[in-house]
Amino acid sequence: MPISIIGRQSELGKLLARHAGASPDLKLLVNLAGQQANTLLHDGHAWKDFDKTLKAGVRRSLRTDADFIVFASFAFVQRIPPKDPLRSLAETILACEQEVLAEPVPACVVRLGYLYGPTSQDLHAYRKAFRLGRPYWAGPRTAGQFHLHHDDAVRALLLAANPRHAGKTFYATAGGAVPFMRFMDYFARGIGKRCPLHIPLLAAPVMQLIVRKEHMQQVALAMPSGPPRPQVPRWKPKLADYRRGIDSLLADWQAASGAPGSGTP
């Protein structure tokens, strides 16, 4: 049977649609509503109208005739943010999780790490900015977050689609928590920027005119060092190390362009 996707036009949705194929025994709905915000690669703009998008996706799933629902959620809600606006967003996410699990249709929740991959338009924008020598908001040096490559996210969502998982909440993250600064500095060096510039934390009041507060709170919200549990059964990330994930996407960019040198499409 074909797999239905809410949020098909998102980066993750397009990838899922290409790889999902059909489920021979299960009429499946994967709800990706709001996942465009589940990345640290935007400056917070993707949180605009997030509440409306997420709640609309839940309402659509209430009308489904599917046999099973996989609801894609956010791993950062493992720790409730201390302040708004990110705290209220986390509360909305948790409320929607419970609403999906309470639906008549059997469902499970998969909390995904912050997403990245070769099709990320925000990551392309970072590449351009680094090449122009622009600094970026890196956040605290030691605040780690959970990350996840798009390909591993697709595999996790599909493996979670099992009636035995009804009513359960799982995580899909790649390894332990890694600070955004460490993640992006490695990416910058991969495209040839040996010393990427960071905006000082003292500039936070001024930077709120450019970078939304949600993003600042995201990169400052430290996750536990180890992977959250339980992870999706029978799933393991193929790109568990963020450095392998970044190397992989840079190789994809190079292959797509035919240009020599890592990350130079």
CATH label of the domain that carries residue 237: 3.40.50.720
Is the pLDDT score of 179 beyond 50? yes
Q: Which pLDDT belongs to residue 265?
A: 41
Is the pLDDT score of 197 beyond 80? yes
C-alpha to C-alpha distances, 213 to 35, 80, 83, 205, 206, nearest whole angstrom: 18, 16, 10, 10, 11
Q: Which pLDDT belongs to residue 203?
A: 86
- Is 265 part of a structural domain of the chain? no
Q: What is the pLDDT of residues 123-149, one digit of tens each?
A: 999 999 999 999 999 999 999 999 999
How many domains, in total, are found in the chain?
1
- Rounded to 5 degrees, φ, ψ at 171 are -115, 155
Q: Which pLDDT belongs to residue 24?
A: 60
Is the pLDDT score of 262 beyond 60? no
- Name the CA dihedral angle for 5, 158, 249, 219, rounded to a multiple of 10 degrees: 80
- Is 262 part of a structural domain of the chain? no
Average pLDDT over residues 92-112: 97
Is the pLDDT score of 245 beyond 60? yes
- Is 209 part of a structural domain of the chain? yes
How would residue 264 be classed by pLDDT, with cut points 50, 70 and 90?
very low
Judged by DSSP in three states, 177 sits in coil
How would residue 1 be classed by pLDDT, with cut points 50, 70 and 90?
low
Average pLDDT over residues 188-205: 92
- Is 264 part of a structural domain of the chain? no
- Is 245 part of a structural domain of the chain? yes
- Is 263 part of a structural domain of the chain? no
Domain carrying residue 185: 4-257
Is the pLDDT score of 22 beyond 80? no
Packing angle between helix 242-257 and helix 180-190, nearest 10 degrees? 30
- Is 101 part of a structural domain of the chain? yes
- Is 72 part of a structural domain of the chain? yes
